Amino acid sequence: MRKPENFHKIDNADLIIGSVNCRIDVSKEGFFVFGEGVGWNNVVLFEMNWDKDQYNVKICVLGEGNDGWYLHENLPIPKSLMKTLSSFKEFVKSNILDVANKVDLMNIKPNMMGITELDAVEIIHTVASSSGPNVSYIVTENVGGVRDEWNCTCPAFMYSKATPQTCKHIIQIK
């Protein structure tokens, strides 16, 4: 896809993720996300490869530019979320919650996993059903603010015998 025309407009945009106020800083490679006033010594760099429709998530050290390590590489850019500022913020939010689940953003530990305490926020995803173009299901992540608690409105989830219950829509989002 082409780089969205209004991409520069997200520069300096604020968004609240969990209980943390985050700021977006557009860069040459894509954009950084900072946590403001919470003692995060790491920043998250999203390298946007518009030509290949892919992005990387890189954990960088605050004030050290692009130095860091890759948490994810070559993820598909969800084009539908690139259309408006609010949908773009949803994209950023779900990515940062994923990062916070995996990485300690407070302390600089190269290539180390850990967890950043963020109050989990319910995230609603709409997933198209593979059985028909006009059917979609609602996948809820962090149900009731419980981290990694999932729900889906599809029948397969309701009848899932797995513990915890799951379905292909949840797996797709994970």
Which residues in this chain contact Zn ion in the complex, by CB under 5 A?
137, 152, 154, 157, 167, 169
Angle at 21 between CA 121 and CA 124, to 5 degrees: 25
Query: Smallest distance from the beta carbon of 124 to Zn ion, in angstroms?
Result: 13
Q: Which residues contact 37 (CB under 8 A, 6 or more apart)?
A: 21
- 145: number of CA atoms within 13 Å, CB side? 6
Residue closer to Zn ion (CB basis): 5 or 159: 159
**Comparison of 46 and 137: residue with beta carbon closer to Zn ion:** 137
C-beta closer to Zn ion: residue 59 or 152: 152
Cα dihedral 172, 45, 108, 67 in deg (nearest 10): 130
Query: Minimum distance from CB of 69 to Zn ion (Å)?
Result: 33
Tell the smallest beta-carbon distance from residue 105 to Zn ion (Å): 31
